[in-house]
Structure 1
């Protein structure tokens, strides 16, 4: 039985891509216990995230994808804590748009397990919203962290560079909707949902995308 728990912090800032900028609120997820923790998506505000970490050891900063609103605070947080920044290599071109002078420290790959205080976060490569987008699934926690791949009410956006709607739908169908229906979907923005709540709408999304 894992002793790990999930904490949510909401940070605010801007998302910029393809010449546009939007104000956004992001979910920053912390998974760990009283001693060590990992951060999923270091968005916007390194100070606020460091405060949420407190005196715990931050072992990893896992980036679900490399849009600037999800990685903006990662280097500052890593420099402050010594944590390793993890990213899927396919998102390196996006990463370099935000951090041209600082590479991630390690590469996520499908099937890799990142441990945090007894939690085992398994990487699911789910391209579509971004080429290197990943989700992180832990059956013990009954949760999947989906970044911007799947939200309450539908898939992530695919109208901008590096994104592709049919690929995203394939990722959701093949990698996420095969998880148990009670699995909590902890998203990059907004409210949480479950696999069971979203799975019945797959055909609608496919129709909408054509």
Structure 2
């Protein structure tokens, strides 16, 4: 018996680089699954940090919320280690190729696509704005959504860099995320959790 689905979390420290600037960042690592299998959401700075959360479980997929280097830097190395496909929305190819010139991801993500793991289902929500191919992953049965850098505790993700657009991001958040129940827990790419209701009240639906 595999046991109940759960969400495991750790923080990994490294850098984010874009447009000729580099910053120190702490990234959340999210792993969803049961005792036997799991999906890794994003692959930031350290394979070892991710494997410490995975443990002995079989990794079904490495799902990238977007292709900024602090979210995909170790994705190919992790793929080699756990023998699992990398999933990314194809609109993020220009960003991916800034970090990985010799390796592509394995499978494209699409809006409305579903991924099954550990007895629960993740639904892909394409939420462009922070990045063209940014996605969120909604676990409706758990009342949780993994938003990458689309939505944080305190508002939308950053849009001051290449390949990003603030009006597009706010439209994505209002259309895709604020349509979810207010008590949905938001697991972000950086920083603390929040809820859909709290962020909708702050930004306005």
Q: Could you state the TM-score of these two structures normalised by the residue count of structure 2?
A: 0.97
Question: 8 Å contact 1:173–1:202 — kept in the other structure?
Answer: no
Question: 8 Å contact 2:12–2:45 — kept in the other structure?
Answer: yes
Query: For each residue in 1:118-176, what CA deviation from the matched residue of structure 2 results, as whole angstroms up to 9, or x when unmatched?
Result: 12010000000000000000111110000000001100000000000000000000000
Q: Distance in 2 between matches of 1:74 and 1:9?
A: 16
Question: 8 Å contact 2:9–2:53 — kept in the other structure?
Answer: no
> SS of the counterpart of 2:201?
helix
Partner of 1:88: 89
What is the CA distance between 1:200 and its match in structure 2?
A: 1.2
What does 1:1-210 correspond to in 2, within 5 Å?
3-203=4-204
Deviation >2 Å, runs of 4+: none
What is the CA distance between 1:3 and its match in structure 2?
A: 2.2
> Cα RMSD (Å) of the superposition?
1.1
Unaligned runs of 5+ in 1: none
Q: Distance in 1 between matches of 2:13 and 2:132?
A: 24
> SS of the counterpart of 1:158?
coil
Question: 8 Å contact 2:44–2:70 — kept in the other structure?
Answer: yes
> What is the number of residues matched between the two proteins?
203
Question: 8 Å contact 2:45–2:73 — kept in the other structure?
Answer: yes
Unaligned runs of 5+ in 2: none
